[in-house]
Amino acid sequence: MSAVTRRTFLASTAAAAAYGLSGATPAFADVNWKKYAGTKIGVNLVKSPRGDVLQKFEKEFTDLTGIQVSSEQTPEQQQRQKAVIELNSGAPSFDVIHISYHVQKRQFEKANWLADLSGFMKNPELTDATLTESDFSQAGLLYAKNPQGQMLSLPFSVDYWMVYWNKDLFAKKGLAYPQTFEEMVKVAEALTDPKEGTYGFVARGLKNANVPVWTSFLLGYGVDPVDANGNLMTDTPEAIEAAKLYQRLLTKSAPQGVAGFNWSECQSAFLQGKVGMWLDGVGFAPPLEDPDRSRIVGKVGYGVMPKGPKAQASATFGDGIGVTSASKNKEAAYLYCQWAISKLMGARLLQAGGGVPFRQSILNDAETRKGVKMPPAWIDSVVESGKISKLGLPVIQPVTEFRDVIGIGLTNLLGGGDPATEMKKATEQFKPILERSEKA
Amino acid sequence: MSTIAERQLTPATEAAPLTGARPRSTYWPFVVPAVAVVGSVIVFPWAFTIWMSLHEWTVGGARRFAGLSNYLRLVSDERFLTSVWQTLIYTLLAVILPLIFGTLAALIFNSKVPLRGILRGVFVMPMMATPVAIALVWTMMFHPQLGVLNYLLSLVGIGPQAWVFSPSTVIPSLVLVETWQWTPLVMLIVLGGLAAIPTEPYESAAIDGANVLQRFRYITLPMIAPFLMVAVIIRTIDALKSFDIIYAITQGGPGTASETINLYLYSVAFAYYDVGYGSAIAVVFFALVIGLSLLMLHLRQRTKWTELQGGA
């Protein structure tokens, strides 16, 4: 068994702080970390920079707690399938599960696959005093809690949507960063010059992937895709206006072939310095400042989502980490989750550019911010986006179908479809699917 | 008068009559392993799929018997019907084009061209590559702004194309990848056929004054027809179940422009977790594959029969 004690662990993390990974070490002080020493837990992670950071420092967790961890990372789509199949069997091979809130929240809640962590969070022997609900952003709490107010997971990493903009292209045309949707359209069209191969705007056109672009607009019209009573709002006048905006930006100011663009194609186009604005998640920023991959290093502006006619909102998505209700090692698994979202791990995640923690104390920590490789404008934009964050997708079970059905309608708009017709058709098509899912 | 076969069988039948309980009980144990394997890996999964298709069943939810409602839903499911049509178009193109180019390549490589051995080796290389790796490379090549294909077109004065990024060109573009990868297979099959053709008919045709096209039409084509049928059968089955390349390049998009039955089935079963409806799609897809396979086998038999008649 490892000879590392809590004291030596604290000393080592303090040493890590000296290298700039600071602002978090006291987080391990109060909990009885060794209580479940010798326990073995399985951890199911999504293949991502978040999963990489957790696996990289896994040994530190074992040294701290004496809990043996067997973790695996699987690509997102396959991980979701594997998790669902195993959880549905009632005997999953893992105790800890990394979930995508914006896709799996409702499904996991309805199927009771996650253990209630509310009691653990109130237990000072299990939970550090600094880990409080109020430390999570509002969106994080909305995601983590079920309608009964139980905390079913710990918010891990958040993805706000923001606008990346090319300062050089803006300067050439004497344009300023847009403050409203209307200005965004004008600026995008002013920047577009197909002969020069320059385009004002790019965002996802590929079905399913494109829905968050449209919901980003819809939220600016003051409407959520599904209202509080579970009614679809996808064919309302606001939804149609948002669809018109989507159509206009992506047909008049976007590069050829945008109907097949996912985030990677958008990123490639933006990296070449030929696109004025790119609307997407904050997590895609690091390559923009990487001289090996980007032609626009130091020229990128990080803008908060412009204001819509009714509201200013940043569509928000996120990951959580929870304990399965079938786990026989819930306390040990909870300790892992707590470690995963600790200040130290959150700081590492943020500084590596692998994700943005939901915990405000990490984002606001001056020492942590010093170690962030991205420009200060990026983190400022992240913090500002957090203040106007709204859930980017409805909390319903058939999220993937919602994204597919609405996404097909949106892609059709890029081929010249009529916004009202497409949105009404998609809504009509999705309505029975939603009703069926709620009955099931 | 008895035939030779009858005369040969008669003594054996008399010596060990295949009646009574003893022989049957002696033979059964030998059949059991085969029955168990076929039952567990073929019959059971299919029976279970059909059973699931008769239920409304979403993973994580309750299961309810739904009769034929999943099948009735298919009839009015526009996305499913589109996927059937697109599967057929995709299959047709992905069979015909490799067949034409593969036959042409086989004719070229069958003649005594310089460096024939090396060139044949190079030509079959696409077949050996991993589909997902191929898909990633082609995705980059198809990129409207950064891809090499549009650059090559610009060299000959043709404007940029959207390739897989436009609903109108996505299927032909995917077929291009499929053709690039599987033309060598057809070439190898046809090459085998060409090697088996005797030289005498060509000598006679040359004496009769037949030109190159006539020799191909009246000698080569009929004699390689059975080989072409084999290529058609293999390619049809392969194209029908094509998934990896389409999924990796377009995920069925833009919109649903390249969504084949396989991709739709995958979405329904593994993204929407609608196991009942997904099973109904699988059953219909299976029926389609069986139907097309039977048609192919029938044509194959006819080709064989014609060939035998011709040879008699």
Q: Are A307 and A382 in contact (CB under 8 A)?
A: no
Instruction: Look up the domain containing B105 and give its range.
Output: 71-311
| pLDDT for the residue B186 | 96
A259 touches chain B (CB under 8 A): yes
B275 to chain A: which residues are within 8 Å by CB? Answer: none
Q: Looking at residues A382-403, what average pLDDT do you find?
A: 92
pLDDT beyond 70 at B173: yes
The CATH code of the domain at A161-315+395-439 is 3.40.190.10
Pair of tokens at residue B234: 């293999």
A79 touches chain B (CB under 8 A): no
Give, for B207, the enclosing helix (H) or strand (E).
Answer: helix B200-208
A265·B143 Cβ contact <8 A: yes
For the ranges A206-210, A218-222, B24-28, the one whose mean pLDDT is highest: A218-222
Q: Looking at residues A327-350, what average pLDDT do you find?
A: 95
Given B62, B160, B270, which is nearest A81 (Cβ)? B270
Nearest Cα of chain A lies from the Cα of B276 at a distance, in angstroms, of: 13
Whether B32 is in a domain gets the answer: no
Given B170, B251, B272, which is nearest A401 (Cβ)? B272
The predicted-structure confidence for A261-289, as pLDDT tens digits, reads as follows 999 899 999 999 999 999 999 988 989 99
Whether B229 is in a domain gets the answer: yes
User: DSSP class of residue A217?
Assistant: H
Whether B126 is in a domain gets the answer: yes
| pLDDT for the residue B24 | 67
Q: Looking at residues A13-27, what average pLDDT do you find?
A: 42
B145·A269 Cβ contact <8 A: yes
B256·A408 Cβ contact <8 A: yes
Candidates A225, A137, A200; CA nearest to A423 is A225
Report the 10 Å Cβ neighbour count for A358: 29
Whether B284 is in a domain gets the answer: yes
A256·B61 Cβ contact <8 A: no
CATH code of the domain in which B151 resides: 1.10.3720.10
Residues 6+ apart with CB under 8 A from A72: A43, A44, A45
Whether B1 is in a domain gets the answer: no
The predicted-structure confidence for A72-88, as pLDDT tens digits, reads as follows 999 888 898 899 989 98
A398 touches chain B (CB under 8 A): yes
User: DSSP class of residue A135?
Assistant: G
Residue type, B108: I
Length of chain B: 312
A90 touches chain B (CB under 8 A): no
B62 to chain A: which residues are within 8 Å by CB? Answer: 440
Whether B244 is in a domain gets the answer: yes
pLDDT band at residue B244 under the 50/70/90 scheme? very high
Pair of tokens at residue A278: 């790119």
Q: Which of A113, A206, A250, A436 to mutate to test the interface with B (most CBs of B within 10 A)?
A: A206
A437·B251 Cβ contact <8 A: no
Measured between alpha carbons, how far apart are the two ends of chain A, in Å? 48
Burial class (CB in 10 A: 0-12, 13-18, 19+), A75: exposed
List strand residue ranges (DSSP E) for A5-54, in order. Answer: 40-46
Q: Which of B57, B63, B249, B251 to mutate to test the interface with A (most CBs of A within 10 A)?
A: B251
| Tally of structural domains, chain B | 1
B59·A404 Cβ contact <8 A: no
Same fold across A6-159+316-390 and A161-315+395-439: yes
Beta carbon pairs, A and B, within 8 Å: 96
pLDDT beyond 90 at A12: no
Nearest Cα of chain A lies from the Cα of B57 at a distance, in angstroms, of: 9
Report the 10 Å Cβ neighbour count for B295: 12
Candidates A95, A109, A112, A92; CA nearest to A144 is A109
Nearest Cα of chain A lies from the Cα of B259 at a distance, in angstroms, of: 11
The CATH code of the domain at A6-159+316-390 is 3.40.190.10
B144 to chain A: which residues are within 8 Å by CB? Answer: 255-257
Q: Which of A256, A325, A414 to mutate to test the interface with B (most CBs of B within 10 A)?
A: A256
Report the 10 Å Cβ neighbour count for A78: 12
B165·A256 Cβ contact <8 A: yes
Sorted by where each begins, the domain ranges of chain A are 6-159+316-390, 161-315+395-439
Q: Which of B64, B273, B274 to mutate to test the interface with A (most CBs of A within 10 A)?
A: B273
* Angle CA A16–A21–A26, to nearest 5: 75
Question: To the nearest whole percent, how much of chain A has pLDDT over 90?
Answer: 74
Question: To the nearest whole percent, how much of chain B has pLDDT over 90?
Answer: 66
ipTM over 0.85: no
Residues 6+ apart with CB under 8 A from B93: B171, B172, B175
A401 to chain B: which residues are within 8 Å by CB? Answer: 271-272
Full-model pTM: 0.81
pLDDT band at residue B113 under the 50/70/90 scheme? confident
Could you give the dihedral angle defined by the CA atoms of residues A17, A23, A26 and A31, in that order, rounded to the nearest 10 degrees?
-110
In chain B, positions 132-191, which contact chain A (CB-CB < 8 Å)? 143-146, 160, 162-167, 170
Residue A73 has φ and ψ, to the nearest 5°, of -115, 135
d(CA A48, CA A75): 8
Bigger pLDDT: B158 vs A22: B158
A110 to chain B: which residues are within 8 Å by CB? Answer: 60-61
Residue identified by tokens 């609900």 is A133
Nearest Cα of chain A lies from the Cα of B56 at a distance, in angstroms, of: 9
Nearest Cα of chain B lies from the Cα of A359 at a distance, in angstroms, of: 30
Q: Are A276 and A169 in contact (CB under 8 A)?
A: yes
B70 to chain A: which residues are within 8 Å by CB? Answer: none
Whether B23 is in a domain gets the answer: no
The predicted-structure confidence for A80-126, as pLDDT tens digits, reads as follows 889 998 998 899 999 999 999 999 999 899 899 999 999 999 999 99
d(CA A29, CA B103): 74
* Alpha-carbon distance values, A134 to A119, A155, A336, B190 (Å): 16, 12, 20, 72
Candidates A273, A226, A233, A268; CA nearest to A396 is A226
A414·B60 Cβ contact <8 A: no
